[in-house]
Structure 1
Amino acid sequence: MGELANCPKCNVLFVQSQFRTVCDKCFKEEEKAYETVYKFLRKRENRKAQLDEVVDETGVSKELILKFIRQGRIQLINFPNLGYPCEKCGKTIREDRLCEDCKEGIHKQIHQLEQEKMISDRNKHSARETTFYSQSPKK
């Protein structure tokens, strides 16, 4: 069951669902925009267009086109020059949410943190095992 929300585009109150994040009026506008983009990309001469070219030629916002791509409505496999930005660095990618460089950087950071934790745990463990002897003062 959906919940009441304000449309992020026009601020009208509507019932939000998993599939619909805007009101009916804005949803219909998005559908028209999708049709415009899809008709443009379907033409053979436009299949190699880049994202900025699609925005310029169709008048549809970059954010809305990216939304269609993320929803899987525009399949990138059919359009070799289309892509979307990496969520970390902004580099154009065609799959996942992060580019390979950012993924590799995150994996390195995780590995480094794991190494630091192992060293810290080892130091705590060895500190507990150390026995200290003291001599009582001579009388």
Structure 2
Amino acid sequence: MEVRNCKSCGRLFNYLSGTPICPSCAHKLDLKFEEVKEYVYDHPGVGMQEVSEVMEVPIPQIKQWIREERLSFAEDSMIGLECERCGVTIKTGRYCKECKDKLAKGLNELYPEEKPVIQRKKETREKERMRFIDPSSIRNNL
């Protein structure tokens, strides 16, 4: 754990991972995200510039929420991002469906499925088995 200055307000905080902002600013950002999400839901054909101006949120922040797949716009919306691999326009995420499939296939080929190990039953020999003598049977035979 390290101490850092918040990227948003400048206060010191204990940084663990992720975006270098303090818990207070992170909470404010989450509240702002909920407001933006409601606005986009209520106005399906809205553009990114309009959302930025009305909700007072920078466009890079809106793009980050879209890339994280936290925010998505209607299919008929003007908003679109480029796939990071092939450049096709997408509505949310980092990659288009085709590129996601190619990446997943490549990973599957990298780590092929292991063949199930067939376990054979151990052959136990009668002579090698441990035996127990029942004490009551000894008394009856005496």
TM-score (norm 1): 0.52
Are 1:27 and 2:26 matched, yes or no? yes
Mapped to 2, the partners of 1:93 and 1:33 lie a distance apart of 24
Q: CA deviation at 1:52?
A: 0.7
Map residues 34-45 of structure 1 onto 2, 5 A cutoff: 34-43=33-42
Residue matched to 2:49 = 52
* Alignment of 1:79 onto 2:74: yes
Which residue, out of 61, 64, 68, partners 1:67?
64
Deviation at 1:55?
1.1
Once residues 81 and 20 of structure 2 are traced to their aligned partners in structure 1, the CA distance between those partners, rounded to angstroms, is: 20
Computing the radius of gyration from Cα coordinates, the structure with the larger value is: 2
Equivalent-residue separation in structure 2 for 1:84 and 1:68 (angstroms): 12
Structure 2 CA distance for partners of 1:21 and 1:72, relative to 1, 3 Å: farther
* Contact in 2 for aligned 1:51/1:83 (Cα 8 Å): no
Identical amino acids, percent of aligned pairs: 25
**Paired residue type of 2:62:** I
Equivalent position amino acid for 2:39 in 1? F
Report the alpha carbon displacement of residue 62 of structure 1 after superposing the two structures with TM: 1.3
Residue identity in the other structure for 1:73: R
CA distance in 2 between partners of 1:42 and 1:11 (Å): 33
Q: What is the SS of the residue equivalent to 2:17?
A: coil
